[in-house]
Chain A
Amino acid sequence: EPEVTQTPSHQVTQMGQEVILRCVPISNHLYFYWYRQILGQKVEFLVSFYNNEISEKSEIFDDQFSVERPDGSNFTLKIRSTKLEDSAMYFCASSDSGGLAGSSYNEQFFGPGTRLTVL
């Protein structure tokens, strides 16, 4: 069964360093997402991406964050200068259609997550 994969499973970094979290979405999917979950908190939407551009982003997704699809398979989340409060589990997800207003939602498949620890 196709699945979303993420690397690394755990990333430890020093405050102020840049990190890149990597995701390989399911191959025929067109919509890609990043979420984060701080320990003990709810899953929070960060950004959605379609057709090589951001389609929606949350208030959390500020200038320190960026996403890229550098080739046909990878989808990355970059945090430019990490802060202590960026420590969280970061989930990538993909779907074969988006949750656009007025359309039916298609299931988002989540990757296993990358645990980011900022020291």
Chain B
Amino acid sequence: RKEVEQDPGPFNVPEGATVAFNCTYSNSASQSFFWYRQDCRKEPKLLMSVYSSGNEDGRFTAQLNRASQYISLLIRDSKLSDSATYLCVLNRDDKIIFGKGTRLHILP
């Protein structure tokens, strides 16, 4: 089983819609969790950290469920500029482990 699993997509979503991404992880020793975004042929950039209590940053909401080993990202009122690949990332023992990512296309 992969350490970090994500639906590869692509998700094709009309502008203004709400979209949700899920991610599961297999190692319960994972310590910290993040969502990164990666534009085509560009470097990954941190979108937000994910906390157990859930956290929100503008249109973005992240949730962590340690019992189910599950992380989610919700994007509300999606914009064309949200089109990218969203990477689920965790930190364990000084290693950063990336999921393969979910591709999102926002349609005008």
Which A residues fall within an 8 A CB radius of B?
33, 35, 41-45, 48, 55-56, 58, 89, 91, 98-102, 104-105, 107-108, 110-113
Contacts and interface: CB of A to CB of B under 8 A. Distances in A.
A55 B94 contact: yes
**Would you call the interface of chain A mostly helix, strand, loop, or mixed?**
loop
Contacts of A91: 43-44
Contacts of A104: 32
28 contacts: A33-B96, A35-B96, A42-B98, A42-B99, A42-B100, A42-B101, A43-B98, A45-B95, A45-B96, A55-B94, A56-B93, A56-B94, A56-B95, A58-B95, A98-B94, A99-B32, A99-B91, A99-B94, A99-B95, A101-B31, A101-B93, A101-B94, A102-B31, A105-B34, A105-B91, A110-B44, A111-B43, A112-B42
**Would you call the interface of chain B mostly helix, strand, loop, or mixed?**
strand
Interface string B30-48: 0110100010011111100
A99 B96 contact: yes
Given A104-B32, A105-B32, A105-B49, A43 B44 contact: yes
B40 to A, nearest CB: 11
Nearest to A99: B91
Given A101-B31, A110-B44, A110-B45, A45 B91 contact: no
